Structure 1
Amino acid sequence: MRICVLTTSFPRFPGDEASVFVGRLMEAYSAIGSEGLVITPYDRSEALTERLGNFDIIRVKYGVFTRGSLAYGSGILPNIRSRPWLALQVFSLLGALIVELLKKRKSYQVVHANWLAAGVCAWLCSPFTKRPYIITLRGEDAKLLANPIMRVLLKPAICKAAKVIAVNETFKELLTPLTPADKIASISNGVSFRDVPHEELVRFKRDHNLSEQTAKIIFVGRLIPLKRVEVAIRLLSIPTLSNFELLICGRSDDQRYLQELQELRRSLALETRVHLLGSLPPSKIPALLACGEFFISASEHEGRPNSVLEAMAAGKVVLASDIAAHREIIRHAESGYLFNVDDLKSAAGILAGLNSDQATRERIGEAARSYARQFSWEGCALKYLEVLN
């Protein structure tokens, strides 16, 4: 069976964080012998077509008069909120994906749409292609479904899908009023992890001039307002964490937000303790995680927080904002800690206490590792294949 993976973003180059979980799922599809194509928007200078594993990657241009700039960066909805004129590109983006789906209809038997926008495209094409489709809800889709008007507009695409995949329980609750329960499936993303040899860890610390004398908190993710990276920086200004450093790793397509983070770091006199590492290739992330004792995620919203799960798989103690997606994977004070982003003194107290309590750190880290390592990408792909069949 040939699968068409339809997605509104996809890794553009090796090491790109954009929808890296969709890229890993496609790699897992290839590993278990599936084949097909990926249809995704073009961004800047990447190849319009290429071959990855058993899949042909097809990137479609959609900009009207200018380069399309809606799909990447912070994501479609955040991009529109920060630059409202980009809403004018929505129809050209959806139209370009629809045209490519129709052109390639003889090249696939089923469509796996990632995000509701892609699901709408698959739905509009289905009367002409006669191909079934499934939709995986991710990230910002929860905000769309929480809006009464958008629920009405999106309901036909959801109802006509052969299956709708929820990556967390919040999505399942939002879907229940929209489609029969037997059409809703729950499939968790896989988790990438590996143990880091001592020599690799030493080399990474040397290359990034990291001190051995301080406790380290790690953040990995896109530098966008949704991730609330400023919360992590403010946390480090609390006196009880004066012997901590914060390592921030991630690509920033939002230069205004990056400048705000840099200015905040300067205003709090944290230039020597808050390190903006920029983007690192996925192969370097295990070494980065191995450098720290703690991992932080202060996101205001998540679908299935892969970076948190990868930190847990590495045995890190995770401090995560008290939101539904984090509550689903972290048992407070058992496999990690949840915190109120408006009460940073309490969060600092947790970290300071754990820093002097190695036994508790190891117990929490082991519980986190045991939980997260049960999820593999090949296992995830096999579950999708069962649904697609």
Structure 2
Amino acid sequence: MKLAYIVNTYPRPSHSFIRREIRALEAAGHEVQRLAMRADAAPLVDPDDRAEAARTFRVLDQGPVALGAALLRAGLRHPLRMARALRLAWACGRAGRGGVPGTGGPLRHLIYLAEAAVVAGRIGGADHIHAHFGTNSATVAMLAGVLSGIPYSFTVHGPEEFDAPRALALGLKARQAAFTVAISSFGRSQLMRWTDAADWPRLHVVPCGIEPLRFAKPAPLPPGTGRLVAIGRFSEQKGMLLLVQALALAAPRAPDLHLTLVGDGELRGAIEAEIARHALADRVHLTGWLDEAGVRAELAAAHALVLPSFAEGLPMVVMEAMAAGRPVLATAIAGVPELVVPGQTGWLLPAGDADALADGMVALAATPPDRLAAMGDAGRARVLARHDITASAAALAALFARSDG
């Protein structure tokens, strides 16, 4: 099949799961055209991301004149399709309340319609349009589908979509789609809240996946105890500030605890200030963004991954840690309990509770190495059986083919 993939910002360090999905589809013989509204403002450190950037068409790079011309051409060629697309854009615009990417009033949705016209003009011959995230990328995919007559679908990840489901018109987008994908059962349950029961059969769970060949036999656990790694964007939803506070609470009870923070973001300054306030500079190391090889190296150097998030979808970092044979200490939110089994592959803790997080870190540091290794082995077996990207891509391709038929 010929597929058109639409993402708002692509590629970016936190979206490696999209790259893996595209790569698996191409390995299965499908042709995938990459379209993004814009490039990531942050520099790309991973060579695979830089290669993806070279293959991605960026709509907003074309400039306002090109967007206006594409809108005019689409209206002249298919006036009835344009009328329907205008009605949908207006409906989405009325639902939008602003404050979340992909929301906004009717004027902003006219811009999305112009973006969709550019997309529709680029994807002639495509069998299916698929968007990642239920924000403006799904809006553009829906409108491009109307203008081109090509069926569309989208994958909802969370948590952003579930923060503003009405403003994002999730129910309307799902009703217009050939099908909608959630990456976890939890995600599907949230979609069911905002869609009609008649649309539920077209809500499918297709989890994100890892590339097993990139996770060969895990490295043995490092010497000592209590080396933790946390990986993610330094944003409010990831809970990194709380993690530093919890480490300060745990440190007197577990002298060997050490934390490596992999990532970056708008809260870096606040995190650095919190580290200094608690005099934890000798216990916390910030690496910045790393490529996939660097992430795997940090996992190999750790005894466990810690995920202190307040909101998530189905975290890829948890899958990667499990594939690397490392147990996981995580908050029991969203799709995380579908990955982590307490007592078998790690620990689940209440979100937003620094004391509970500290207790979990102390318990992990006190766990014998052979027990940690056994938990890591169990996690690896679980993720390889349930989250192989080849299987997930095959499931998606089957849905694409069914919608085309």
TM-score (normalised: structure 2): 0.77
| Correspondence 1:379 to 2:391 | yes
Tell me, yes or no, if the aligned pair for 1:196 and 1:287 is still in contact at 8 Å. Answer: no
Matches of residues 263-282 of structure 1 in structure 2 within 5 Å?
263-282=273-292
Tell me, yes or no, if the aligned pair for 2:34 and 2:55 is still in contact at 8 Å. Answer: yes
2: distance between equivalents of 1:373 and 1:134? Answer: 27
| Correspondence 1:364 to 2:382 | no
Aligned to 2:146: 127
Instruction: Give the superposition deviation at 1:121.
Output: 1.7
Aligned to 2:300: 290
Residues 86-136 of structure 1 deviation map (CA, whole Å, 9 limit, x = unaligned): 999954763453132121131422101111122222222333211001111
| Correspondence 1:347 to 2:347 | no
Tell me, yes or no, if the aligned pair for 1:134 and 1:163 is still in contact at 8 Å. Answer: yes
| Correspondence 1:314 to 2:324 | yes
Aligned to 1:184: 203
2: distance between equivalents of 1:272 and 1:196? Answer: 31
Tell me, yes or no, if the aligned pair for 1:7 and 1:115 is still in contact at 8 Å. Answer: yes
Aligned to 2:119: 101
Tell me, yes or no, if the aligned pair for 1:39 and 1:59 is still in contact at 8 Å. Answer: yes
Give the one of 12, 26, 30 matched to 1:30: 26
1: distance between equivalents of 2:6 and 2:354? Answer: 40
Q: Which amino acid aligns with 1:235?
A: A
Aligned to 1:240: 253
Aligned to 1:208: none
Residues 148-168 of structure 1 deviation map (CA, whole Å, 9 limit, x = unaligned): x437x3322211211111111
Aligned to 1:207: none
RMSD: 3.3
Q: Secondary structure at the match of 1:241?
A: coil
Q: Which amino acid aligns with 2:205?
A: S
| Correspondence 1:111 to 2:143 | no
Q: Which amino acid aligns with 2:26?
A: S
Give the one of 163, 168, 171 matched to 1:155: 171
Q: Which runs of 5+ in 1 are unaligned?
A: 66-79, 203-210
Tell me, yes or no, if the aligned pair for 1:319 and 1:336 is still in contact at 8 Å. Answer: yes
Residues 53-82 of structure 1 deviation map (CA, whole Å, 9 limit, x = unaligned): 8x94201227999xxxxxxxxxxxxxx759
2: distance between equivalents of 1:132 and 1:21? Answer: 23
Q: Which amino acid aligns with 1:195?
A: A
Instruction: Give the superposition deviation at 1:214.
Output: 5.5
Tell me, yes or no, if the aligned pair for 1:316 and 1:368 is still in contact at 8 Å. Answer: yes
Q: Which amino acid aligns with 1:166?
A: A
Tell me, yes or no, if the aligned pair for 1:354 and 1:360 is still in contact at 8 Å. Answer: no
Tell me, yes or no, if the aligned pair for 1:237 and 1:270 is still in contact at 8 Å. Answer: yes
Q: Secondary structure at the match of 1:333?
A: coil
1: distance between equivalents of 2:241 and 2:34? Answer: 35
2: distance between equivalents of 1:165 and 1:288? Answer: 31
Q: Which amino acid aligns with 1:98?
A: A
Q: Structure 1 residues 354, 125: closer, same or farther in 2, change over 3 A?
A: closer
Q: Secondary structure at the match of 2:32?
A: strand
1: distance between equivalents of 2:217 and 2:110? Answer: 45
1: distance between equivalents of 2:352 and 2:14? Answer: 29
2: distance between equivalents of 1:271 and 1:172? Answer: 41
* Paired residue total: 351
TM-score (normalised: structure 1): 0.80
Q: Secondary structure at the match of 1:142?
A: helix
1: distance between equivalents of 2:243 and 2:224? Answer: 20
Q: Structure 1 residues 93, 26: closer, same or farther in 2, change over 3 A?
A: farther
Instruction: Give the superposition deviation at 1:274.
Output: 0.5
Aligned to 1:59: 58
2: distance between equivalents of 1:222 and 1:311? Answer: 16
Q: Secondary structure at the match of 2:124?
A: helix
2: distance between equivalents of 1:196 and 1:364? Answer: 15
Q: Secondary structure at the match of 2:210?
A: coil
Tell me, yes or no, if the aligned pair for 2:60 and 2:115 is still in contact at 8 Å. Answer: no
Q: Secondary structure at the match of 2:204?
A: strand
Instruction: Give the superposition deviation at 1:302.
Output: 1.1
Aligned to 2:229: 218
Q: Structure 1 residues 323, 24: closer, same or farther in 2, change over 3 A?
A: same
1: distance between equivalents of 2:22 and 2:258? Answer: 36
Tell me, yes or no, if the aligned pair for 1:41 and 1:93 is still in contact at 8 Å. Answer: no
User: Which range moves more in the overlay, 225-234 or 287-296?
Assistant: 225-234
Q: Which amino acid aligns with 1:386?
A: A
Instruction: Give the superposition deviation at 1:279.
Output: 0.9
User: Which range moves more in the overlay, 170-179 or 23-32?
Assistant: 170-179
Tell me, yes or no, if the aligned pair for 1:63 and 1:92 is still in contact at 8 Å. Answer: no
Q: Which amino acid aligns with 1:359?
A: D
